[in-house]
Structure 1
Amino acid sequence: MKTTLTHRFHDSIELEYQGQTLFRYVYEPKIAPVESPRPYFHPLKTLAGNEVSIFRPYDHFWHVGLSMTSANLSGENFWGGPTYVRDRGYVQLDNNGRMQHRDWQEVYCNDVVRCVEHLAWITHDGETWIDEERRIIVSEIDPAGMHWSLDLSFNLTNVAQRPLIFGSPTTEGRPAAGYGNLFWRGPRSFLHGKILAAEGAEGPEVMGKASPWLAFTGRHGGADSHPLKHHRQM
């Protein structure tokens, strides 16, 4: 692969293929505490150079490209912004945590790109609840097929000395809002795209179902392309 990985210390790593940025991963973001600061990928681009992520849109400024999140972890908000509270709706609480970069255990770029990061999930009050090992791997860039793959894995260890429960607005009473964990905010031109899952499931019927994979296909504004996003269940 004709790849270059640039490490800007205390800021980000950026992957380029033949001079074209594929992603920038900001691991020490300059984000307000109310937005639940966490590492994120932005921009994310196709091999054709089309950007397929959005950063801090005006309607949800805590949405930051592609990131690991949790809308409700035992009452703590690692998603950003207000928290959905049963019978009250969305309320801005003093519960916005953060995911803090600790160190890089590996940053490698040759025939594959492999980065291993150590992070801590820290609550609003400063308690560390989760230690995380995050792996970022790019092993396939196919210029003939005009696609490339980004493989992510997250190994979470509870260090809170008590059970932690991953919830969502749905577990607090809001229907069809079970969002959280790996979160991607795509460009507005992807509105009305197609959601696909295993066994022929598609569209709204995918909500709330387990699937070994999930794909989204959409058309980038001004370009005849159909980027896909897959999430493989581990």
Structure 2
Amino acid sequence: MTDTVVLQVAGRPVARYVPRPELPARLSPRPCLHPVTTLAGTVVTELTPADHTHHLGVGVAVPDVEGFNFWGGRTFVRDQGPTELDNHGTQRHTAFQLCDPHGFEEELRWVAAGSELLRERRAVAATELTDTAWALDFTFSLTNVTDSPLSIGSPATNGRPGAAYGGYFWRARKEAAAPDAFTAEGEGEPAVHSRSADWLALAGTDWTLVFAGATEDTRRDPWFVRTAEYPGVGSSLAPTERLPILPGETVVRRVVTVVADGRLARDEAATLARKAVSP
């Protein structure tokens, strides 16, 4: 892996971004952030873990763009289930418009079967919140660059209930015990999965991640949450129906993630989430 970018907060390295990962096609190669750490240095991401080798730290992953897999691994096929298909796309880094230790702006091409389907503009920034917490501000804009309508789907729209993953995704650190997941209204995976919430927290042994939607569309997307099988949180671009993108049209989402040392209480998580997304 080459051409890495190291993000810093308060003079400390907190994340490494790999724009050109050298990975097999089956993993749907795509730029990713790993490792991401707390300010105290605790790693809170995983890259190609044994349980799901196509999970790549933090990034944007979509299992179905007009039938092409930009998530990695098997593809869920209606009435057939998870199936190995030769349908994997690649997110190709084109250029950085801005790049420094505090963040970057990047252009990417989403390519499958030799054709560019989407062009992405990605903006990422790392900012200090407190002495023990910082925020990763992640915006992605997907533009249909073809002459035909495209649509984004998920295993849920293809017949697998409860599996509406696709969009921003954070593969968290796996520990001996499963992390706790909670929002302002609910606690536990069954209570928060597939539901919309202004913020959602994932708390491990000595760390907490707080995910907050920073635009109206992003807040409307339900959260995809896993704690028991593996620790991961993402957004759901296509929770119940496919998301259409007309030629020249752009879909924009912005998620701000608080990365904190220690296990935050509900009121602490809410306070940091509000601070992270405030202008």
Q: TM-score scaled to structure 1, two decimals?
A: 0.84
Q: Which residue number in structure 1 is paired with residue 213 of structure 2?
A: 232
1:207 Cα deviation after fit: 2.5
Q: Across the two proteins, how many residue pairs are aligned to each other? A: 214
The 8 Å contact of residues 132 and 157 in structure 1, kept in 2 or not, is answered as: yes
Matches within 5 A, 1:6-25: 11-17=3-9, 20-25=12-17
1:139 CA drift (Å): 2.5
**Which has the higher relative contact order, 1 or 2, with Cα contacts under 8 A spaced 6 or more apart?**
2
Q: 1:228 to 1:162 in 2, by over 3 A?
A: same
Structure 2, unpaired ranges of 5+:
216-279
User: Partners of 1:179 and 1:130 in 2: how far apart?
Assistant: 19
2:128 is aligned to: 140
Matched, 1:115 2:101: no
Match of 1:3 in 2: none
Answer whether contact 1:11 1:29 (CA < 8 A) is retained: no
Q: Distance in 2 between matches of 1:218 and 1:177?
A: 23
Verify: 1:169 aligned to 2:142, yes or no.
Answer: no
Paired position in structure 2 for 1:98: 90
Confirm or deny: 8 A CA contact 1:190 1:218 kept in the other structure.
no
C-alpha offsets along residues 163-195 of structure 1, whole Å, 9 cap, x if unaligned? 222211111111211111111111111753222
Find the residue that maps to 2:122 and give its secondary structure. Answer: strand
Shift of 1:116: 0.5
Per the alignment, residue 198 of structure 2 pairs with 212
> Residue 196 of structure 1: CA displacement?
2.4
User: Matched residues in 1 for 2:156 and 2:177: separation?
Assistant: 23
Answer whether contact 2:46 2:57 (CA < 8 A) is retained.
yes
The equivalent of 1:201 in structure 2 is: 186
Q: Which residue of 2 aligns with 1:187?
A: 173
1:228 partner amino acid: L
Shift of 1:208: 2.4
* 1:206/1:36 CA distance change after superposition, 3 Å: same
- CA separation in 1, counterparts of 2:23 and 2:114? 17
- Equivalent-residue separation in structure 1 for 2:68 and 2:152 (angstroms): 10
Inter-partner Cα distance in structure 1 for 2:211 and 2:90: 26
1:29-48 residue pairs with structure 2 within 5 A?
29-48=21-40
Could you say if the C-alpha distance between residues 126 and 229 of structure 1 is closer, same or farther in structure 2, counting changes exceeding 3 Å? farther
Structure 1 residue 68: deviation in Å?
A: 0.5
Q: CA deviation at 1:230?
A: 1.1
Query: Matched residues, percent identical?
Result: 37
Is the CA contact (8 Å cut-off) linking 1:211 and 1:233 kept in structure 2?
no
After TM superposition, the score normalised by the length of structure 2 is 0.72
**What is the CA-CA distance between 1:130 and the residue it aligns to?**
0.7
The one-character-per-residue Cα deviations of 1:101-155 (angstroms, maximum 9, x if unpaired) are: 000001134xxx23100111111x1111111110011232532xx1111101011
- Read off the aligned partner of 1:185 and give its amino acid letter: R
- Which AA in structure 2 matches 1:24? R
| Stretches of 4+ aligned residues off by more than 6 angstroms | none
**Aligned to 2:26, what secondary structure does the other structure show?**
helix
Comparing 133-142 and 22-31, the one that deviates more: 133-142
Q: 1:156 aligns with which of 129, 132, 142?
A: 142
Report whether the alignment pairs 1:84 with 2:76: yes
C-alpha separation between the residues in 2 aligned to 1:52 and 1:190? 14
Distance 1:72 1:141 in 2: 35
Q: Alignment partner of 1:161: what SS? A: coil
Describe the SS at the equivalent of 1:71: strand
2:49 to 57, 81, 88: 57
Worse-matched range after superposition: 159-168 or 146-155: 159-168
Structure 1: gaps spanning 5 or more residues: 1-7, 220-224
Q: Does the residue aligned with 2:150 lie in a helix, a strand or coil? A: coil
